[in-house]
């Protein structure tokens, strides 16, 4: 005869499976729910502020919004650079306003805010796109505290600093706030310094989205996969440069061969990324203009989406083992 504890265990396991199935069906229903993808918003007289417009997604988004008829405040680190000048030469007179902005500077942020206030079009600041970001890679002990502070100040605190400055203006128009995160906020390996800032940004946005909802402001997160060739956010590295930058203690536990293998794999991964930056720009435009924008836009290939879903669904111990095996395989090449 079957024991009661065994039956109870089976019953509980069946319950868990049912809950997982129902959760999965609900998720599919939500993701496939019909959404109005037509742009019904009239961009005339509405402004959007974009940080990080020197190149990459920010520059391409600025061009797209200008073509649509928005007024664009293009925040650039180098306002005299090629990216900023390409916006000026393409736009109609007065349609684009290039601003010098280092998102880590309180002084420059205050100056940018005053400039925007003095030059707002009739319908105000409709959108804020926090796009500025930098990337570094390496294991935790490979990097100095100064590097951690630098990436944190740009990717996380820079976005917070920009939000605090311009949130009142977006609230007045019941507009949109869009944040550039990454799939690395979930699945990560060899780039904890970057992932840390994006995970922090996600939680900041979750809080902001709930708080801004009462004012009619939509907060959206963009989570791109590997688009390194399209943005060059993470330049290719050489093993010699990485080895030379390692702290002394890190050199004791990592061989040069391991560094060479890791660098080779990183460069291959970067080269294998998508060049179709328009996919990410499309997601940002939808977040700015759709009557029913998503809270999160995961813009990634099939394998990257699987990695994110495995992270979210698998027990942490099991997911860690998958990542650990890949690192272990990398180290075994040195033996």
pLDDT of the residue at 13:
54
Tell me the catalytic residues: 194
Entry field: residues in the chain: 335
- Tell me what pLDDT residue 28 has: 58
Q: Which residues in the chain show pLDDT less than 50?
A: 1-2, 6-12
Q: What is the pLDDT, as a whole number, of residue 99?
A: 97
pTM of the full predicted structure? Answer: 0.85
Contact 181, 297 (CB under 8 A): no
pLDDT at 270: 87
Phi, psi of 220 (to 5 degrees): -125, 145
pLDDT at 16: 61
Quick one: pLDDT at residue 40?
A: 73
Residues 6+ apart with CB under 8 A from 127: 46, 47, 48, 49, 70, 170, 175, 176, 177, 178, 288
pLDDT score at 31? 56
pLDDT value of residue 151: 96
Tens digit of each residue's pLDDT (9 = 90 or more) over 253-295: 888 888 898 898 888 888 889 999 999 999 999 999 999 999 9
Q: For residue 23, how many other CB atoms are within 10 A of its CB? A: 11
Residue 195 token pair: 């992932």
């Amino acid at each position: 005869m079957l024991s009661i504890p065994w039956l109870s265990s089976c019953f509980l396991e069946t319950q868990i499976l049912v809950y997982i199935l129902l959760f999965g069906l609900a998720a599919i229903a939500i993701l496939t729910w019909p959404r109005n993808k037509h742009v019904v918003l009239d961009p005339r007289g509405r402004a959007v502020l974009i940080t990080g417009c020197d190149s990459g997604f920010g520059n391409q988004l600025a061009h797209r919004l200008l073509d649509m008829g928005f007024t664009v405040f293009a925040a650039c680190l180098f306002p005299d650079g090629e990216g900023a000048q390409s916006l000026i030469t393409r736009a109609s007179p007065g349609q684009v306003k290039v601003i010098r902005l280092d998102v880590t500077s309180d002084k420059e942020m205050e100056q940018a805010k005053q400039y925007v206030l003095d030059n707002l079009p009739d319908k105000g600041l409709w959108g804020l796109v926090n796009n500025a970001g930098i990337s570094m890679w390496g294991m935790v002990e490979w990097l100095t505290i100064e590097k951690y502070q630098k990436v944190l100040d740009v990717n996380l605190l820079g976005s917070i600093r920009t939000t605090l400055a311009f949130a009142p203006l977006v609230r007045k128009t019941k507009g949109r706030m869009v944040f550039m995160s990454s799939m690395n906020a979930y699945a990560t390996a060899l780039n904890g310094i970057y992932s840390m800032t994006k995970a922090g940004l996600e939680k900041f946005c979750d809080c902001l989205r709930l708080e801004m909802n009462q004012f009619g402001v939509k907060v959206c997160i963009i989570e791109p996969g590997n688009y390194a060739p399209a943005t060059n956010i993470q330049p290719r590295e050489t093993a010699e440069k990485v080895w030379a930058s390692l702290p002394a203690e890190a050199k004791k536990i990592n061989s040069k061969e391991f560094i060479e293998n890791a660098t080779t794999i990183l460069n291959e991964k970067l080269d294998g990324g998508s060049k179709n930056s328009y996919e990410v720009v499309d997601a940002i435009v939808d977040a700015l203009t759709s009557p029913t924008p998503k809270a999160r836009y995961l813009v990634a290939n099939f394998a990257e989406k699987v990695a994110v879903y495995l992270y979210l669904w698998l027990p942490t111990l099991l997911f860690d083992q998958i990542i650990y095996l890949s690192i272990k395989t990398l180290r075994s090449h040195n033996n």
